[in-house]
Structure 1
């Protein structure tokens, strides 16, 4: 199972970044080019067991992915896993650590298996994984900026 790892540094507490990472509106706003929307059955800030469906355009294709929060340890860690969507499987672990200098290090660890066996694996290595890594970097940078703009620095 391929593993993508992206590290983001932010000038805010782990709790602030943790909460922003679970805010579906902040998530959708982080990728304006994809015109992403997020649909939930409840709160706009997700908690344990909550599901969200993201719809967006990536790589010229309209994608729809539903994910559930399967692990939730505020403010240090949460995991979301695909329950319906384009991948054979997807598990995304979000880790939040104080950096010792008044900020937070957020680490995204995303395990993704492409559909379609060997053909999907080839497409994953050449197109999909680099695209997902870029999306994770953009999302992390956006969340760090939002935390600072809201005056939530330490």
Structure 2
């Protein structure tokens, strides 16, 4: 299993950051490079516990679909999604939110495993882990920018 751990400090209220992190429309804006679109399940607005979303995106030159489900949610504290169908053998993404000095720390714990046994493991280590880390960082940068700009206008 490959794990990516990211912490993103954001100068904004934890409730705003939590809602932005589960906003389907904002997620689509953050993934312009892969042309990611929500095509089934929850396709816009704020995703909730027990809801699914199916994404279609171009990764590594190939269009792929990925269906995830929110399996747990404690508002403004955490939510977790897992892959139901897609290219990974397994995928779990925990989104954790902590308040620090009136600001928010958004934590991503992204765990995945590629299919194809040892070949998939090798591919994870030489390429896919960095690719997924950059993908998550770009998403987090838009959440941060949006949260901080909304925060500064109030």
TM-score (norm 2): 0.93
Question: What's the offset of the Cα at 1:151?
Answer: 3.8
Distance 1:10 1:114, change over 3 A: same
Q: CA RMSD in A?
A: 1.5
Question: What's the offset of the Cα at 1:48?
Answer: 0.6
| 1:6 counterpart residue number | 6
| 1:88 counterpart residue number | 89
| 1:104 counterpart residue number | 104
SS of the residue corresponding to residue 128 of structure 1 reads: helix
Question: What's the offset of the Cα at 1:150?
Answer: 2.8
User: Mind listing any 5+ residue stretches in structure 1 that lack a counterpart?
Assistant: none
| 2:62 counterpart residue number | 61
Within 2, Cα distance between the matches of 1:7 and 1:153? 24
The superposition leaves residues 28-58 of structure 1 with CA deviations (integer Å, 9 ceiling, x where unpaired) of: 1112111110134346210010001111112
Question: What's the offset of the Cα at 1:64?
Answer: 1.1
State which drifts further: 41-50 or 91-100: 41-50
SS of the residue corresponding to residue 5 of structure 1 reads: strand
Within 2, Cα distance between the matches of 1:109 and 1:116? 23
Q: Give the alignment of 1:33-52 within 5 angstroms.
A: 33-42=33-42, 44-52=45-53
Within 1, Cα distance between the matches of 2:112 and 2:152? 32
Question: Contact between 1:93 and 1:110, CA under 8 Å: does it hold in 2?
Answer: yes
Write out the 4+ residue segments of structure 1 that deviate beyond 2 Å after TM superposition.
Answer: 39-44, 148-154
Distance 1:71 1:153, change over 3 A: farther
Within 2, Cα distance between the matches of 1:126 and 1:74? 36
Instruction: Confirm or deny that 1:150 pairs with 2:150.
Output: yes
Question: What's the offset of the Cα at 1:153?
Answer: 7.1
Within 2, Cα distance between the matches of 1:135 and 1:52? 18
| 1:19 counterpart residue number | 19
